[in-house]
Amino acid sequence: MVNIVVVSHSLLLAQGVAQLAEQMIQGGCRLAIAAGVDDEAHPIGTDAVKVMEAIASVDDPAGVLVLMDLGSALLSAETALELLDRDMAQRVRLCAAPLVEGTLAAVVAASAGGDLPRVTTEALGALAAKARQLGEPADQPAAGPATPVMPADGQSVSWKVLNPNGLHVRPAAQLAGVLAPFKADLLLQKEGRGVDPRSLNQLATLQVRQGDTIRLLASGPEAQQALDAFSTLARRGFGEHVDARAGMVLGGIPVPPGGIRAPVLKLRPARYHARSETISRAQVTGQQQRLRSAMAATRGDLRRLAHRAGDAMGPDQAAIFSAHALLIEDEDLLRAFDQRIARQLAGAEAAVQHELLAMAGEYLAMEDPYLRARELDIRDILNRVLGHLGAGPVAPLSIGDGDGVLLVAEELMPSEMIGLERQKVKGICLSEGNIWSHSAILARAQGIPMVVGVSGCMQATRTGQMAALDMTTGSLTVDKPAGGKKAGLDEA
């Protein structure tokens, strides 16, 4: 993991910056300070030896980023590099970012697993948010990958998005898949910001909503074919049924308001978690191969789930799992797994868990509630990959042969909804969950009533107990045991 060194003329200033930064590290990167000089009468200054020692104390194969306050701090840092071992010095980058904002941005990026160029870019761009808030022009970062610029002879086409939920995971997956084969340089823009439209992960960060105008720029030998394919897909609603006047028309089975009554079946589906472990360098290739094999097995699972969903519910539901399969084929993501194993000496389980949970966190931070709910999809994928790395494939939910039960659980993943039968499952009650999740969408498509956010339902029920789920009020009423009272629980 990239670590950080703060160089300042003032020990108190450096300690204050470190105190701010440490609130954001929380077990992530390490931070060292090199500040002031050992002169009680004149303590303000910098010492190259102190800087050298600070760098050595947090040296890491991933690199060290050094941030400085004033001119002579830069001179001391440059001298420290000359004093260091040559191999160590090559892993160090001096950064011109502002000390306070740059350090905070750097520790967040480093703790999230960013490599040295990414951490540097985040530090250099740390003033952008402040500049935007004050209405001042923001300087572009001086390092790191820039947004691709199409050549002057590039072509483009624009489209106003009609999909009520914008380019969420399914239409985004359609777009990425359609554009993938073309030999062309492509850039999708919204409000001047551009991403690679063949990356599902990058498309998500663009947060395209209904009413947004997007523009695809293309250059290269198959640029026109890519633009034509984009236009055709856009006119078809990016794979969804979209009416230009009324928005998207979704097919489904109407479920009348009211209630259901059935015996409870409590479920605790398998959830896998990786332990943090350090491997040797000799194990790196083997761990990378293990993870690639588990990812391939997971993609096979997702394709089978897509077929089952398509047969049972239709193409829109099948597209959920096709999108999941496309997401984990992303080369940037696979490269991040390999790099974490090689650079951090993390085992396959720890590497995939770190990267996918970081991705889930990015979805949770989005403004759009529909996109935020996609974090459950990422955790669903992670659970399957961890299963293939250890305990084996994730087994389907076991309902039994009863006449109809009320499933009670903390949370159900989208993949766990496939195979549920309306005649066997009268309703679902979750203590957690999200109304925008693909689990909820799949429940509606199967005509299975679902209520989410019923806090305490797991503690208040037991398998075999009769309970009533009121779909009008979102409440669960549990029959009293002999000699007791009924327990009522409401949707959160």
Starting at the edge strand found earlier in the chain, the sheet holding 193-195 runs: 155-160, 213-219, 185-190, 193-195
Within-domain flag for 254? no
* Dist CA 200 CA 357 (whole Å): 16
* Dist CA 395 CA 418 (whole Å): 12
* Dist CA 185 CA 295 (whole Å): 28
CATH of the domain at 62: 3.40.50.510
Q: Which residues contact 315 (CB under 8 A, 6 or more apart)?
A: none
Helix (H, G, I), strand (E, B) or coil at 2: coil
**Mean pLDDT for all residues in the chain:** 84
Helix (H, G, I), strand (E, B) or coil at 476: strand
Cβ atoms of residues 190 and 213 within 8 Å: yes
User: Do 160 and 127 fall within a single domain?
Assistant: no
Q: Which domain holds residue 420?
A: 259-268+397-490
Within-domain flag for 143? no
Q: Which residues contact 228 (CB under 8 A, 6 or more apart)?
A: none
Within-domain flag for 43? yes
* Dist CA 206 CA 212 (whole Å): 11
Enter the DSSP assignment of 284. H
pLDDT of residue 146: 43
Q: How many of the other CB atoms lie within 10 Å of CB of 37?
A: 15
User: Do 24 and 125 fall within a single domain?
Assistant: yes
In this model, does residue 220 exceed pLDDT 50? yes
Residue with the two structure tokens 């389980």 = 349
pLDDT digits (tens, 9 = 90+) for 276-335: 888 999 999 999 999 999 999 999 999 999 999 998 888 888 989 998 988 888 888 999
Mean pLDDT of 90-118: 86
User: Do 21 and 123 fall within a single domain?
Assistant: yes
pLDDT of residue 459: 92
User: Do 351 and 295 fall within a single domain?
Assistant: yes
| Catalytic-role residue among 42, 168, 307, 324 | 168
Within-domain flag for 275? no
Helices (H) and strands (E) in the chain, counts: 19, 17
User: Do 342 and 411 fall within a single domain?
Assistant: no
Within-domain flag for 127? yes
DSSP secondary structure string for all residues of 120-159: HHHHHTTTHHHHHHTT-PPPPPSSSPPPP---TT-EEEEE
Within-domain flag for 304? yes
pLDDT of residue 201: 66
User: Do 96 and 54 fall within a single domain?
Assistant: yes
Q: What percent of the chain has pLDDT over 90?
A: 41
User: In the annotation, is 168 catalytic?
Assistant: yes
User: Do 243 and 264 fall within a single domain?
Assistant: no
Does the model's pTM come out above 0.85? no
User: In the annotation, is 42 catalytic?
Assistant: no
Within-domain flag for 146? no
pLDDT band with cut points at 50, 70 and 90 for residue 3: very high
In this model, does residue 246 exceed pLDDT 50? no
Cβ atoms of residues 277 and 316 within 8 Å: no
Residue with the two structure tokens 């703060």 = 6
Within-domain flag for 334? yes
User: Do 368 and 434 fall within a single domain?
Assistant: no
* Dist CA 276 CA 27 (whole Å): 12
CATH of the domain at 230: 3.30.1340.10
Q: What does the block give as tokens for 465?
A: 């107990």
| Catalytic-role residue among 324, 354, 388, 438 | 438
Phi, psi of 360 (to 5 degrees): -60, -40
User: Do 18 and 123 fall within a single domain?
Assistant: yes
pLDDT digits (tens, 9 = 90+) for 44-63: 989 999 999 999 999 999 99
pLDDT of residue 341: 95
User: Do 405 and 451 fall within a single domain?
Assistant: yes
User: Do 223 and 321 fall within a single domain?
Assistant: no
In this model, does residue 26 exceed pLDDT 70? no
* Dist CA 380 CA 390 (whole Å): 16
Mean pLDDT of 205-219: 89
> CA dihedral in degrees (374, 380, 382, 384; nearest 10)?
-150
Quick one: angle between helices 438-445 and 375-389, nearest 10?
A: 90
User: Do 121 and 16 fall within a single domain?
Assistant: yes
In this model, does residue 145 exceed pLDDT 70? no
CATH of the domain at 381: 1.10.274.10
pLDDT of residue 140: 47
Q: How many of the other CB atoms lie within 10 Å of CB of 98?
A: 17
Which of 142-156, 355-369, 429-443 has the least mean pLDDT? 142-156
Which of 147-156, 158-167, 258-267, 335-344 has the least mean pLDDT? 147-156
Strand ranges, E, within 123-282: 155-160, 185-190, 193-195, 213-219, 242-243, 247-248, 259-266
pLDDT digits (tens, 9 = 90+) for 449-467: 999 988 889 999 999 999 9
In total, how many domains does the chain have?
A: 4
Residues in the chain, total: 492
DSSP secondary structure string for all residues of 61-128: TT-EEEEESSHHHHHHHHHHHHHS-HHHHTTEEEE-S-HHHHHHHHHHHHHTT--HHHHHHHHHTTTH
